[in-house]
Amino acid sequence: MDKAEIGLIGLGTMGSNLALNIAEKGHSIAVFNRTVSRVDEFRAGAGQLAERIVPCRDLDELAQAIRPPRPVIIMVAAGTPVDEQIAALRRKLQPNDIVIDAGNANFHDTVRRFKELEGSGLTFIGMGVSGGEEGARHGPSIMVGGTEESWKRVEPVLAAIAARFRGEPCAAWLGPDGAGHFVKTIHNGIEYADMQMIAEIYGILRDGLGMEAKEIAPVFAHWNEGRLNSYLIEITAKVLAADDPKTGRPMVDMILDRAGQKGTGKWSAIEAQQLGVPATTIEAAVAARVLSSFKGERLEAEKMYHDLPTERIGGGREALLADLEFALLAGKIAAYAQGFAIMAGASREFGWNLPMPTIAKIWRAGCIIRSAMLDTMAEALASGGAEENLLMAPAFVALMKESHSSLRRIVARAALAGLPVPALASALGYFDAYRQGRGTSNLIQAQRDFFGAHGFERIDDKGAFHGQWE
């Protein structure tokens, strides 16, 4: 076989599927995995694609197997393993070769790795990949950070393996060094918010309306036909319809209510705070996952507060279902507005010049948060008016005007019934605070001046002032 066009290290869930995708698109690929037995196992399971896969037992073999200049994708667990692989590759590769970290790196690590590789002759790319197992296999959304020149070198392969939306590949160069991994992080932050709000709506249907999983599934399936059309709503319907083979009961009812996380949601909230960008819905979603992990404590608290209400929500079911659909729509818009605002903040702070319409475009297919609404967002971001906040784009102003009252009613009714809706409630709070021309921080400024002589601005004069408080 001729030398491979590209290499890949890490044949876990993502790496193995990405490698098959690359091979399927006609590119020969050399692969290596820490647990070496996995390499042969992988090739043996690759069927007809095996002829384009070069199994390598160490990094020397990998370097030998790829045609220079060598692009090598690292798809291993994020953190130290990536540093170890880069250090090992530095010894095996040659100037002009390209190292691509395709895992979920913290963008600060990516920026550091760029600095560390400066002067080494190697080119580095930090690449966010979304779409899970299925996306990696058949077309993920790909967010690239690095030099434009390095992007041009890998663009043909990445565009070929990426998902497509109306024929356009969902892969793009988004900016220098950490830009790609930053955008992937915020993608995941939005994903956390989206999933949490869906879970809250499910909670209202289950506990507020007393519906069984099997009854809730078609509700989500129906919503997926409308404005909420998205991958997450689609899989929610499927998840709720699935049975547990062991008990025959709905699978979702047999799953412990304790959610895991690997860090990208938390990083989104941390970066939002660092950049001074409010992202309350994303933060609420991260906090909700953390609270979900306090299972024992929650069971104790339930006993302690057993006499407080957790009630059914009465009234017409049809009207309530319509409100739930629109509440989710409004909440989702607020969460995306926050996500795009964080990216705008980072773009200013780091001088990245992130292409917002392109980001929305490459999220329209392949990634976990793909939805019909992202197409509208791409248009809104391209046509101007949403530079500061998506909530100011005419299309979203119209959608919020149409849907905010449903969000209000749902948050209010859930609160009265004692049903937790932290992400939806924070989305509403964010929206109401954002659209309030005269807020209440005049009082906070007065308090700060009272106890700390921090000073304040006046509405009728320029300069810094102090009050005579006592």
Ligand X SMILES: NC(=O)c1ccc[n+]([C@@H]2O[C@H](COP(=O)([O-])OP(=O)(O)OC[C@H]3O[C@@H](n4cnc5c(N)ncnc54)[C@H](OP(=O)(O)O)[C@@H]3O)[C@@H](O)[C@H]2O)c1
Positions marked active-site? 184, 191
Would you say 13 or 274 has its CB closer to ligand X?
13
Q: Which of 14, 279, 400, 414 binds ligand X (CB under 6 A)?
A: 14
Q: How far is the CB of 195 from ligand X (least distance, A)?
A: 13
Q: How far is the CB of 76 from ligand X (least distance, A)?
A: 3
Residues 131-150 that bind ligand X (CB under 6 A): 132
Stretch that binds ligand X, among 77-85, 332-340, 410-418, 457-465 (CB under 6 A): 77-85
Stretch that binds ligand X, among 4-12, 270-278, 307-315, 448-456 (CB under 6 A): 4-12
The candidate with the shortest Cα–Cα distance to 233, out of 222, 217, 220, is 220
* CA–CA separation, 381 and 393 (whole Å): 8
Q: Which two tokens stand for residue 57?
A: 């037992």
Stretch that binds ligand X, among 8-16, 57-65, 304-312, 379-387 (CB under 6 A): 8-16
Q: How far is the CB of 316 from ligand X (least distance, A)?
A: 40
Q: Which two tokens stand for residue 181?
A: 């991994």
Q: H-helix or E-strand containing 223?
A: helix 213-223
User: Cα–chain-centroid distance for residue 147?
Assistant: 23
Q: Which of 28, 104, 403, 406 binds ligand X (CB under 6 A)?
A: 104
Q: How far is the CB of 185 from ligand X (least distance, A)?
A: 11
CA distances in angstroms from 221 to 217, 237, 320, listed in the order given: 6, 5, 17
Would you say 24 or 41 has its CB closer to ligand X?
41
User: Cα–chain-centroid distance for residue 450?
Assistant: 42
From residue 259 to residue 288, what is the string marking binding to ligand X with x (rule CB under 6 A)? ---x--------------------------
Q: Using CB atoms, what's the residue nearest to ligand X? A: 12
Q: How far is the CB of 149 from ligand X (least distance, A)?
A: 25
> How many CA atoms lie less than 13 Å away from 44 in the CB half-sphere?
5
Whether 284 contacts 423, CB under 8 Å: yes
Whether 87 contacts 21, CB under 8 Å: no
Q: Which of 27, 61, 67, 81 binds ligand X (CB under 6 A)?
A: 81
Q: Which two tokens stand for residue 137?
A: 């296999």
Stretch that binds ligand X, among 6-14, 248-256, 270-278, 405-413 (CB under 6 A): 6-14
Question: Is 176 among the residues that bind ligand X (CB under 6 A)?
Answer: no
The candidate with the shortest Cα–Cα distance to 207, out of 261, 254, 253, 250, is 253
Would you say 76 or 327 has its CB closer to ligand X?
76
Would you say 14 or 22 has its CB closer to ligand X?
14
Q: How far is the CB of 89 from ligand X (least distance, A)?
A: 12
Would you say 41 or 449 has its CB closer to ligand X?
41
Question: Is 15 among the residues that bind ligand X (CB under 6 A)?
Answer: yes
Residues 26-45 that bind ligand X (CB under 6 A): 33-35, 38
Question: Is 10 among the residues that bind ligand X (CB under 6 A)?
Answer: yes
Q: What is the DSSP letter of 206?
A: I
Question: Is 87 among the residues that bind ligand X (CB under 6 A)?
Answer: no
Q: Which of 77, 87, 301, 412 binds ligand X (CB under 6 A)?
A: 77
Would you say 13 or 247 has its CB closer to ligand X?
13
Q: H-helix or E-strand containing 6?
A: strand 6-9
Question: Is 71 among the residues that bind ligand X (CB under 6 A)?
Answer: no
* CA–CA separation, 335 and 283 (whole Å): 10
Q: Which two tokens stand for residue 407?
A: 């969000």
Helix (H, G, I), strand (E, B) or coil at 32: strand
Q: Which of 84, 387, 402, 432 binds ligand X (CB under 6 A)?
A: 84
Q: Tokens 């976990």 map to which residue?
A: 368
User: Cα–chain-centroid distance for residue 427?
Assistant: 17
# of chain residues touching ligand X (CB under 6 A): 22
> How many angstroms separate the first and last alpha carbons of the chain?
87
Q: Which of 6, 11, 378, 419 binds ligand X (CB under 6 A)?
A: 11
* CA–CA separation, 82 and 6 (whole Å): 18
Q: How far is the CB of 240 from ligand X (least distance, A)?
A: 21
Stretch that binds ligand X, among 129-137, 217-225, 311-319, 422-430 (CB under 6 A): 129-137
Three-class SS string for 294-327? CHHHHHHHHHHCCCCCCCCCCCCHHHHHHHHHHH
Whether 85 contacts 23, CB under 8 Å: no
Q: Are strands 29-32 and 53-55 parallel, antiparallel or unpaired?
A: parallel
Q: Position 122: which residue type?
A: L
Question: Is 78 among the residues that bind ligand X (CB under 6 A)?
Answer: yes
Q: Write out the residues near ligand X by the rule CB under 6 A.
A: 10-15, 33-35, 38, 75-78, 81, 84, 103-104, 129-130, 132, 262
